[in-house]
Amino acid sequence: DDTADSITFTDGLTMTAATTMTLAAATDGIVPAGTLTLSATAGVYITDTMTGAASNKDLVINADSDSTGTSGTLTVATGKTVTSTNSDVTITAWDVDMAGSLTAGTKAITIHGAEDGQTIGLGSTTTNMVIEDGELGRLTASNGLTLGSSTSGSMVVSGVTDGNSDAIGSPTLVATGSSKTVTFKTSASVFDKGVVIQAAAGVALSESLKTQLVASVVNAGAGTLDVVSTMSLDTDGQLLTITADD
């Protein structure tokens, strides 16, 4: 029916596209009845509001399922919201364009790079995948955000603000592939609810980092925690646990 007002997906459905996938339902939105997997090789575009009908039903989106090229972007259109209704959300992509918003409620959001060695940035960076500070502010997940994985490349963090990190639980930044690092540079960053940093070959603070409200963890793997002399690591009185080779 060309006049249908909504798109409804049955529980447990996997939708695949050989190139791009676009979901649009302007009147009554997109409604997953339960667990939903969306997979495309060249990008997933969500142009209208999506709201899960039930809680504890994972939403999985792979916008770069062939793990090649640079076209596998997850896009949520301006003014639109993807709501998983207290369900975990897992995203695999070359990049994320979060012009709209994404909320997992009481659950967690996990974002992986699609390609081995793909660099990831949080804030104002020039990496392969960039989650800008404003985009971070349009994510809600009280059980936290995990960014990166053991197959991702190194990570850069710059200019994350208190106001745009306050709708997520403690973020976990992962760059644990061989020789991979996490670097804070260019502009100071503030995480509202602490941070967990996991790197294989070191963590570098070329800019200051402040965390607050809950404990933070820095694991530099086989590398060092390097804080440039004019910069600082401030946990606002909360517990800080450091593991490093030096």
User: Each residue of 92-125: pLDDT tens digit?
Assistant: 999 999 999 999 999 999 999 999 999 999 999 8
Per-residue pLDDT tens digits for 118-148: 999 999 989 999 999 999 999 999 999 999 9
Mean pLDDT of 236-246: 94
Mean pLDDT of the chain, nearest integer: 95
In angstroms and rounded to an integer, the radius of gyration of the C-alpha atoms of the chain is: 18
Question: Which H helix or E strand runs over 134?
Answer: helix 133-136
Retrieve residue 6's tokens: 């909504």
pLDDT for the residue numbered 2: 46
Q: Are 206 and 229 in contact (CB under 8 A)?
A: no
Q: Are 187 and 124 in contact (CB under 8 A)?
A: yes
Model pTM?
0.94
Label residue 71 by pLDDT band (50, 70, 90). Answer: confident
pLDDT beyond 60 at 3: no
Mean pLDDT of 52-81: 95
pLDDT for the residue numbered 4: 55
Residue whose pair of structure tokens reads 């699609």 in the numeric block: 114
Q: Are 15 and 37 in contact (CB under 8 A)?
A: yes
pLDDT beyond 60 at 220: yes
pLDDT beyond 70 at 151: yes
Taking the C-alpha atoms of residue 113 and residue 151, their distance in angstroms, rounded to an integer, is: 8
Residue whose pair of structure tokens reads 């090649």 in the numeric block: 68
Alpha-carbon dihedral angle through residues 11, 49, 131, 113, given to the nearest 10 degrees: 30
Question: Which H helix or E strand runs over 136?
Answer: helix 133-136
Question: Which H helix or E strand runs over 196?
Answer: strand 196-199
pLDDT for the residue numbered 68: 85
Retrieve residue 105's tokens: 């409620």
